[in-house]
Amino acid sequence: MSYDVKALRTREFPWAERGESIYLDHASTGPIPMRTRDALAAFGLRRAEPFRLTPDDLYPVHAKAREACARLIGAKPSTIALMTNTSHGVNLAARSLPYGKGDVILSTHGEFPANVYPWIAAAHDRGAEFRLLPLAGDWPDEAALMRAIETDPRVKVVSLSWVSFWSGHRYDIAAIGAACRSRGIHFFVDAIQGLGPLALDVVAANVDVLACGAQKWLVSPWGVGFAYVREELIAKLEPAEVGWWAQATSGDYAKFLDYDARWADDARRFEVITLDFVGFNAMAESIGLLLETGPKAIEAHVTALADRALAFADDTPGVEFVTPREPSRRAGVLAFRTKDVAKSSDRLTAAKVAHSVRTGCIRLAPHFYNTADELDAALALLA
């Protein structure tokens, strides 16, 4: 289960092959592969001169984008709603899932704010409690989370990021999803730091709603992403934001003035259109590249890079691997504490290693086209 990384780099990320940057900042912003750049340029030109657009440039593009997202997570296209970012999907969950006064929405400290503020606001409006369990060291206390799921009847929603944006900790979402499902608790997952470097079967994981922006690990432009809503749940959730293409009769121009407000049967009911056709076409191209390369092969590649980083930290005094050691508990976000994080970061920047500093750690985030040599060069600068 592998692929030709050099060929991939040469074809899709030629600047990486030329050594212009060692790009290890996919947890912030992903690069755009050549095929997607070509698609953006060609479609952008047609968009600039709209008389050149064809009907295929419009709604079939959205259908293609939903299909790509669906394939990536093992779901049906009818369960995908295109969204402009992750936050819209978080709001969809926070505003549409059923819970009320006195109920608890459970999460943990260390979450990215995109998965915190919408819940604080929605919980406040409904008189519910948004509860953040404390961390145990750098990672969430999954045993405490499971205990709360199993014993606290007030818990009605569990909301987690699959992979932590700063520590790189990965939840066992299949175990948590199963525990939630057996107790009728709804399970929301922010997948933006996991999907891409990790393969996912969202149905098997018993996720109810999932949100994912595509601007990072799905190597897509800004302003595109998606939400997934479990098939049986779609008809039960009322969209909180209402668009004009979300109804059963949307698409029939003759019926525009009927104002028939019945929702579409599928997850389109959660879309607020007009959505960027150029951008979603690009997202379909980029996800197409991930699918073509193979999500499982990508996972194996990124895991091997992370193993390498762990081995380096074990052998190097003064470099602490903050991310979990166990491969099933990490993804592509790798966090390190060094003797002087600011100096380590300066050295990385001087050597053109794109990285970030989060919560007092150096964050290296390699993806499917990065090489062991690139990672080694970056690691050497941490010591």
Ligand X SMILES: Cc1ncc(COP(=O)(O)O)c(C=O)c1O
Q: Which residues bind ligand X (CB under 6 A)?
A: 85-87, 112, 114-115, 161, 165, 190, 192-193, 213, 225
Closest to ligand X by CB, 128 or 331:
331
Closest to ligand X by CB, 210 or 381:
210
To the nearest whole angstrom, how small is the minimum distance from the Cβ of residue 191 to ligand X?
9
Give the residue among 166, 86, 113, 162 at the shortest CA–CA distance from 364.
166
Q: Using DSSP, state whether 109 is helix, strand or coil.
A: coil
Closest to ligand X by CB, 16 or 27:
27
To the nearest whole angstrom, how small is the minimum distance from the Cβ of residue 87 to ligand X?
3
To the nearest whole angstrom, how small is the minimum distance from the Cβ of residue 86 to ligand X?
3
Would you tell me how many other CB atoms lie within 10 Å of the CB of residue 24? 27
To the nearest whole angstrom, how small is the minimum distance from the Cβ of residue 371 to ligand X?
25
How many whole angstroms from its chain centre is CA 115? 12
To the nearest whole angstrom, how small is the minimum distance from the Cβ of residue 193 to ligand X?
5
To the nearest whole angstrom, how small is the minimum distance from the Cβ of residue 212 to ligand X?
8
Closest to ligand X by CB, 8 or 158:
158
Closest to ligand X by CB, 59 or 112:
112
Closest to ligand X by CB, 192 or 246:
192
CA distance 276 to 258: 26
Asked if 187 contacts 219 with a C-beta cutoff of 8 angstroms, the reply is: no
| C-alpha distances out from residue 231 to 169, 234, 334, Å | 28, 6, 34
Beta strand 334-337 pairing with 155-161: unpaired
To the nearest whole angstrom, how small is the minimum distance from the Cβ of residue 215 to ligand X?
6
To the nearest whole angstrom, how small is the minimum distance from the Cβ of residue 53 to ligand X?
28
The pair phi, psi for residue 333, each rounded to 5°, is -85, 115
To the nearest whole angstrom, how small is the minimum distance from the Cβ of residue 28 to ligand X?
7
CA distance 176 to 189: 11
Closest to ligand X by CB, 190 or 250:
190
Q: Half-sphere exposure (CA, 13 Å, Cβ side) for 124?
A: 6
Q: The dihedral of CA 309, 314, 318, 320: what is its sign?
A: positive
Q: Angle at which helices 173-182 and 142-151 pack, to 10 degrees?
A: 10
| C-alpha distances out from residue 352 to 153, 163, 272, 283, Å | 51, 26, 40, 27
- β-partners of residue 32 are none
Closest to ligand X by CB, 225 or 239:
225
To the nearest whole angstrom, how small is the minimum distance from the Cβ of residue 366 to ligand X?
16
Query: What is the dihedral angle through the alpha carbons of 68, 73, 75, 81, rounded to the nearest 10 degrees?
Result: -60
Q: Measured at CB, which residue is nearest to ligand X?
A: 213
3-state helix, strand, coil in the chain (%, to 5): 45, 15, 40
Closest to ligand X by CB, 33 or 225:
225
Closest to ligand X by CB, 99 or 226:
226
- β-partners of residue 25 are 365
Q: 242's torsion region: left (phi>0), alpha (psi -120 to 50) or beta?
A: beta
